[in-house]
Amino acid sequence: MKTRNWIYLPVIALLLLLAWYFHTVIAYILVAGIISLIGEPIIRFLLNLNIKGKKIPRALAATITIGGLLSFFGGIISLFIPMVADEARKLSNVSVEEVLLNIQAPIRAAQDYINQFKLTEQPIVIETELKHLLTNLFDISAVGDSVQYALGLTGDIFIAFFAITFITFFFLKDQGLFKNMIMTAVPSGYEERIGKVLHKSKQLLTRYFIGVIIEVAIVMTIVSVGLTIVGIDNAILIGFIAGLFNVIPYIGPMMGAAVGITIGLTTNAEGLDITGMLSLTGQMALVYAAAQLLDNIVLQPYIYSQSVKAHPLEIFLVILMAGNVAGIAGMILAVPTYSIGRVFVGEFFNQFKVVKALTKKV
């Protein structure tokens, strides 16, 4: 028996090597799998429709689902392109000298206060450093370089788009295709248990990803409406940025708020003195705080308890450990990975008390 187990080691090593070599293709398959999970409720709804006594063929339902998802995301992109262009135009017109002039008094006061402690041999000049920072921030040539870099990736983006769309279509069209791909690598005798793991994981992940999309949409709406009331230009664009950053657990909302407030101030602070800028900053911060209170108290607990059947503290610790290991990418992937892991250990190691405690709700 031990000799037989050793035989699997070179096979596993070869599989890991192939996975590393073809990591791009595997990434396409995983993204397509996620999109197919999101589209699963749509295709189920279409298949249940009865039109004059006839059912919609699964291939047609898959085509409609793909078309609907592409139209939705394409509509969002086309909606925000003019806003991004307008925001870029406003940023290009920002005068660094005028911004510094408006906040010169408090900067010099802070500078004098710090220098009285003589922390460095030479006096600290905050104004010079801030001017350098703002000049780099609003450097149009840097924006041009970023656009040129993005255009250089057009070919790769097109290949990824085509590959993911193609794979997603067949995942939706051929029910169980993704499962069958995995089952071909499962040793004999484990098919039934692995099948249960895949079935439960699919249910958990479908609910989770749909919940995340709803969460992003609600946060985006709250921030957009709040900033519109405050009087911020392109509030919908800033709200969309907040929603995207909200995908990153815990630190994402703070990053989104920092980016949003910075954009809001630089494009809406014309003619404001330091008091007006502080007031505008405070109003924007209140909008973000309200969105996060709702997200932390209502949305996240509901998503985690209803979709992945896990306690919020449990999720917090998992995300913390994943962030420590793999940074922001680890934090984003922590919950779906942990969900699959819980199902797996619950199926194969349920004789341990700790496993029973962690998986009793799954």
Mean pLDDT of the chain: 78
Of the chain, the end-to-end C-alpha distance in Å amounts to 33
**Lowest-confidence range among 141-145, 182-186, 275-279?**
141-145
Domain spans of the chain?
1-83+149-185, 191-362
pLDDT tens profile 214-254 = 888 899 999 999 999 988 887 888 898 898 888 888 888 88
Residues 349 and 267 sit within 8 Å (Cβ to Cβ):
no
pLDDT tens profile 302-352 = 777 777 777 778 888 888 888 888 888 888 888 888 888 888 888 877 776
pLDDT tens profile 146-159 = 555 555 566 777 88
DSSP string over 122-170: SPP-HHHHHHHHHHHHT-HHHHHHHHHHHHHTHHHHHHHHHHHHHHHHH
Rounded to an integer, the average pLDDT of 54-60 is 87
CB under 8 Å to 15, separation ≥6 — which residues? 185
Residues 276 and 103 sit within 8 Å (Cβ to Cβ):
no
Looking at the predicted structure, is the pLDDT value of residue 1 above 50?
no
Q: Is 52 left (phi over 0), alpha (psi -120 to 50) or beta?
A: left
